[in-house]
Amino acid sequence: MQAPQHLPPALTPSIRRISLGGDSHEKESPGVPLICKSIHISASPEDVFNYVTNSSTQPDWITFIREVEITSGDGKSEGTTDRCLFKLGPRAQTLDAVWTEYDPPRAFARKATSGLEMEGRMTFDLRDGQTHAEWTIEYEPPMGPLGALLDALFMNRVFQNEMEESLESLKAQLEG
């Protein structure tokens, strides 16, 4: 039996642990970042779900989304597709996505079908009279090993900050 060969750190599978006020999420993957953020909102899960899934309100609270257009479907079910102008970092790009989960008022998910490889999911549940909204994004940094390095040094933190600001904006929009 051969001794195991050691891979460079950039190629070694990693486990990322993200802590959120007691919540902890782990993901074992070969360098695919997973970010999970959450917030409590003084509104019903139905109101939060309806606001979050309304394509016309998404640019109002998601800091890195400039515009969203439903390209097929009814905008109220799995299989709906949309196109958004996405700007995270220095340049904007167009992303097409398919809605992979639409379960009012519990969960909503979409997966990019063009542009950045990314999946996002939000869940909503009532806790102590408030809606606990949890947002998870998993993405593949572009540009191969260079992109993974830039992500580790800079972009992952930018993405986390943008998600946190977006959730604070969502809370402000709904709590008025």
The tens digit of pLDDT for each residue in 10-21 reads 333 333 333 333
Contact 80, 74 (CB under 8 A): yes
CA 123 to chain centre: 11
Which residue do the tokens 């943008």 mark? 162
pLDDT band for position 63 (50/70/90)? very high
| From the candidate CATH numbers 3.40.190.10, 3.30.530.20, 1.10.10.10, 3.30.1330.100, the one assigned to the domain spanning 33-175 | 3.30.530.20
pLDDT band for position 158 (50/70/90)? confident
- Name, of 29-33, 128-132, 140-144, 156-160, the range with top average pLDDT: 128-132
DSSP codes of every residue in 97-124: EEEEEEETTTEEEEEESSSSEEEEEEEE
Mean of all residue pLDDT scores within the chain: 83
139 pLDDT higher than 90: no
- Give pairs for 66-70: CB < 8 Å, separation 24+: 66/92
How is the chain split into domains, by residue range?
A: 33-175
- Name, of 6-10, 14-18, 72-76, the range with top average pLDDT: 72-76
pLDDT at residue 4, rounded to an integer: 38
State the Cα–Cα distance between residues 80 and 19, nearest whole angstrom.
32
Q: Which amino acid is at 27?
A: K
Residue 131 three-state SS: strand
Q: Which residues pair with 74 in a beta bridge?
A: none
E strand map for the chain: 14-20, 23-29, 34-41, 65-72, 81-87, 92-103, 107-112, 117-127, 130-140
